[in-house]
Amino acid sequence: MSEYDVLCIGNAIVDIIAQCDDAFLADNGIIKGAMNLIDPERANLLYSRMGPAIEASGGSAGNTAAGVASLGGRAAFFGKVSKDQLGDIYTHDIRAQGVAFDTVPLPGEPATARSMIFVTPDGERSMNTYLGACVELGPEDVEADKAAGAKVTYFEGYLWDPPRAKEAIRLTAEHAHAAGREVSMTLSDSFCVDRYREEFLDLMRSGTVDIVFANDNEVRSLYQTDSFDEAVELIRKDCKLAAVTRSEKGSVIVRGDETVKVSAIPLAKLVDTTGAGDLYAAGFLYGYTAGFDLKRCGDLGSLAAGLVIQQVGPRPRQNLRDEAIRAGLLQP
């Protein structure tokens, strides 16, 4: 019996979320829809110009871990914070959501990471991230028991930015595969793919990664093609299993010769796309580690993603298990 269903590894980031218009993005040189890495000075400048904001523990893989726990799964998380106010907030929040988080914090410097997320009226989010303590995540933070005990390890492509995190990922993958477990990753965003295309392809083709999550733009960027269908056929050959999301068009899941198409759930209102891919992965991986068929895994992913984008912030306020039972995807 595995101790955990999903072990997530990622940047432990406190999200600071505010709404703005497109003119604000242009005036402040913010690339719309991307995750922009910034230094402390830029972080302080943007923070001073933000409107009213919501602060919440975030980070891509942390959001996924919280989603798995909300569905009733056993989730663990590796990520680096500092022993400061934001670090304490992050640690409390993720543990309060039922996620095992035991990574030893830094004594104080660099500070805990924060991401200023600007949400435009169309629901698109533009992230400006100071990585801070995140860059200190290294192989010494790998807990071998969790790496070997989780059915699936999931990490974010953003971790390829801080160099020592790569060593931690590879070590975790060795523990996981030695125990007969699987490793998954999300491509994170198309700009991240542009930075690390060859390394990401090598992770897939070498078998270091078994399962890949991507969206339409990311998978086309990975294979440098304008054709979604061509990109899907290429990723089918490069990894054991891939789930590709397409916003309102739902998602496509491929495994060998198998292709499963999943619909998006109807929305009352699109509010904020922050966390959509993270929560899709949470729903999918919860279903996958429970032994569900791919269609049901995709439906759970669509439900979790669809709920989170109808609110501000990356973690659903609803109990996802209750929502999945109401939707007929889980038994009471």
Length of the chain equals 332
> Is residue 216 within 8 Å of 187, Cβ to Cβ?
no
- What integer pLDDT is reported at residue 289 of this predicted model? 98
- What integer pLDDT is reported at residue 2 of this predicted model? 63
Q: Of 82, 98, 84, 113, which is closest to residue 8 (Cα–Cα)? A: 98
**Eight-class DSSP state of 34:** S
Query: Does residue 20 belong to any structural domain of this protein?
Result: no
User: What CA–CA distances, in Å, run from 160 to 34, 167, 197, 198?
Assistant: 16, 10, 11, 12
Strand ranges for 23-164 from DSSP E? 35-37, 54-58, 75-78, 99-101, 113-119, 125-130, 150-156
Query: Does residue 220 belong to any structural domain of this protein?
Result: yes
The two tokens of residue 184 are 């998954």
Q: For residue 183, what are the domain limits?
A: 4-11+59-111+132-326
**How crowded is residue 202: how many other Cβ atoms within 10 Å of its Cβ?**
13
Query: Does residue 18 belong to any structural domain of this protein?
Result: no
**How crowded is residue 257: how many other Cβ atoms within 10 Å of its Cβ?**
6
How far is it, in rounded angstroms, from Cα 209 to Cα 201?
10
Query: What b/e sequence results for 137-148 when a residue is b if at least 16 CB atoms lie within 10 Å of its CB, and e otherwise?
Result: bbeebbbeebbb
How far is it, in rounded angstroms, from Cα 269 to Cα 306?
10
Query: Does residue 234 belong to any structural domain of this protein?
Result: yes
Query: Does residue 45 belong to any structural domain of this protein?
Result: no
Our count of domains for the chain comes to: 1
Look up tokens 């995540």; give the residue: 137
How far is it, in rounded angstroms, from Cα 17 to Cα 260?
34
Strand ranges for 80-210 from DSSP E? 99-101, 113-119, 125-130, 150-156, 182-186
Query: Does residue 119 belong to any structural domain of this protein?
Result: no
Q: Going residue by residue through the chain (332 aa), what tens digit of pLDDT does each one get?
A: 469 999 999 999 998 899 999 999 999 999 998 888 899 899 989 989 999 998 888 889 999 999 999 999 999 999 999 999 889 989 999 999 999 999 999 998 899 999 999 999 998 889 999 989 999 999 999 999 999 999 999 999 989 987 899 999 999 999 999 999 999 999 998 989 999 999 999 999 999 999 999 999 999 999 999 999 999 999 999 999 999 999 999 999 999 999 999 999 999 888 888 789 999 999 999 999 999 999 999 999 999 999 999 987 788 888 999 999 999 999 98
CATH number for the domain harbouring residue 265: 3.40.1190.20
β-partners of residue 75 are 6, 99
The two tokens of residue 255 are 């495994």
How far is it, in rounded angstroms, from Cα 272 to Cα 143?
34
Sheet containing strand 113-119, edge to edge, reads 35-37, 125-130, 113-119, 13-19, 54-58
Query: Does residue 37 belong to any structural domain of this protein?
Result: no
Phi/psi at 82 (5° precision) = -110, 160
How far is it, in rounded angstroms, from Cα 109 to Cα 195?
27
Q: Which residues contact 202 (CB under 8 A, 6 or more apart)?
A: 208
**Eight-class DSSP state of 123:** S
Local structure of 134: helix, strand or coil: helix
Query: Does residue 316 belong to any structural domain of this protein?
Result: yes
How far is it, in rounded angstroms, from Cα 137 to Cα 41?
22
> Is residue 8 within 8 Å of 155, Cβ to Cβ?
yes
